[in-house]
Amino acid sequence: MGVHLLFHMNEGQGDTSYARNSIIQKKIISVARETTKEAILDLYCAIKPERLSIADLGCSSGPNALQQISDIIDFVYQKCRQLGHPSPEFQCFLNDLPSNDFNTVFYSLPEFYEKLRREKGTDFGPCFVFGVPGSFYERLFTKRSLHFVLSSSSLHWLSQVPVDLDSGRRTSPHLNKGKLYISKTSPPCVLRSYLQQFQCDFLAFLASRSQEIIAGGRMVLTLMGRRSGDPADHEEYCFQWELLSNALMDMVSEGLIEEEKVDSLNSPYYSPSPEELNQVVQSEGSFTVDRLENFEVEFNASLNGTDDNNESKGHRVAKSMRAVVEPMLDGHFGGKVMDDLFYRYGVHLQEYISQKRPKLTNLLVSMVRNG
């Protein structure tokens, strides 16, 4: 099955759902908040539109799905009051793949609208929220219809597994045996394939947005990235995938999973360096970067800041990863092994966390659509 069908976060409100295990993504949104505020107010003050169209690409579901939209509305509303201007109407688009749990998002809209009315009164907006299922690597909106585009913790996910690594589309032997992602044991051709897929996908993303965003419109994006030029740096970038691969190979050694199954799976994921990302922006040519920086988030930010004697840090961190990748792994290995796999993963994580203080590097980029 294609990535567009298999790739989505765990649904609902259960113990392993994305809604209950997305604290680290909330932290990333918080870090980007000031950059988002600066970009949207620069845009608003420059054009003062009667209707402000905003798109959040890769919105997922759960408590984070409306957070950035809510922040932008607050920023603009406060600026309007400061300037004595009437509030614009807000047209807000929430995009993700068709398999996303949009129903959970839609169920939260009445409360969201009521909160806006209660806090901002009758001189506000109004605000209209729409769901837009589809891949953000393709066109999603009409020409020159958007003022502001957001994407948080999404663009490190590729449109597909690199072609050379996709077992369904190649005839050569497995190139990345025993691994789900780039590692120190990966041959150079694996690294090249991942970089080429990222370049192709990010170019398509920019080309699509260049058609949809008005001249002078803005984008603020965050995605997993890296600081150095080495995509196989285990300590900084690959440890979470490396440890998950180790848990799978433990199960192979006990005859619980076929080795072929592990060898044939590669994740549709890439964490670029700032230089790699900027190179694609310059190559596409429709946008000017006005901010590109990296920042670190504690990997155990998903622990909610609480101590639970009944569950180790490693197992709590494993839940945050499970909430994101379980549907992909379930589709490949089958649901019966998921509990065992993520328990083992938690053990590996606990050992790793006890020795190190792992952090995740993120890229934050703000850009302007050229006129």
Q: Which whole number is the average pLDDT over 79-100?
A: 94
Residue 304 pLDDT more than 70?
no
Spatial distance between the Cα atoms of 97 and 58, rounded to a whole number of angstroms:
8
More confident residue, 354 or 278: 278
- pLDDT tens-place string over residues 224-242: 999 888 887 655 567 899 9
3-state SS, residue 115: helix
- Least Cα distance to 165 among 135, 195, 136, 137 occurs for 195
- Residue 35: what pLDDT? 97
* Model confidence at 263: pLDDT above 60: yes
Contact of 133 with 95, CB cutoff 8 Å: yes
Q: Please tell me the total number of residues recorded for the chain in this structure.
A: 371
Alpha carbon distance 220, 101 (integer Å): 24
pLDDT at 216 (0 to 100): 97
The predicted model gives 44-61 an average pLDDT of: 95
pLDDT at site 135: 96
Instruction: List CB contacts of 334: < 8 A, sequence separation 6 or more.
Output: none
Residue 300 has pLDDT above 70, yes or no: no
Q: Give dist(CA 133, CA 202) in Å, integer.
A: 19
Phi, psi of 174 (to 5 degrees): -60, 130
Rounded to an integer, the average pLDDT of 298-315 is 64
User: What pLDDT digit, counting tens, does each position of 119-160 carry?
Assistant: 998 888 899 999 999 999 999 999 999 999 999 999 999 999
Q: What is the DSSP string of 268-315?
A: SB----HHHHHHHHHHH-SEEEEEEEEEEEEGGGGGTT---TTS-HHH
pLDDT, residue 1, reads: 44
**Phi, psi (5° rounding) for residue 214?**
-65, 160
pLDDT at 123: 81
Cα 154 to Cα 271: distance, rounded to the nearest angstrom: 11
Mean pLDDT over 279-304 rounds to 87
Selection from 52, 113, 53, 41 nearest residue 78 by Cα: 41
pLDDT in tens, 4-42: 555 677 777 788 887 788 888 999 999 999 999 999 999
Task: Give the count of beta carbons closer than 10 Å to the beta carbon of residue 203.
Answer: 15
- Given a cut of 80, is residue 207 above it in pLDDT? yes
Other CB atoms within 10 Å distance of the CB of residue 181: 24
Query: Is the full-model pTM beyond 0.75?
Result: yes
Q: Taking the chain, what is the end-to-end CA distance rounded to the nearest angstrom?
A: 40
Nearest-angstrom CA–CA distance, 77 and 84: 10
User: What's the confidence (pLDDT) of residue 108?
Assistant: 93
Six-digit token string for 63 = 């408590």
Residue 256's identity, in one-letter code, is L
Tell me, what's the pLDDT at 19?
78
- CA 182, CA 160: separation in Å to the nearest integer? 15
CA distance 294 to 313: 26
Task: Please tell me the predicted confidence (pLDDT) of residue 303.
Answer: 52
Question: Distance between CA 329 and CA 224 in Å, rounded?
Answer: 20
> Tokens 């984008």 label which residue?
219
What are the φ and ψ backbone dihedral angles of 106, each rounded to 5 degrees?
-65, -35
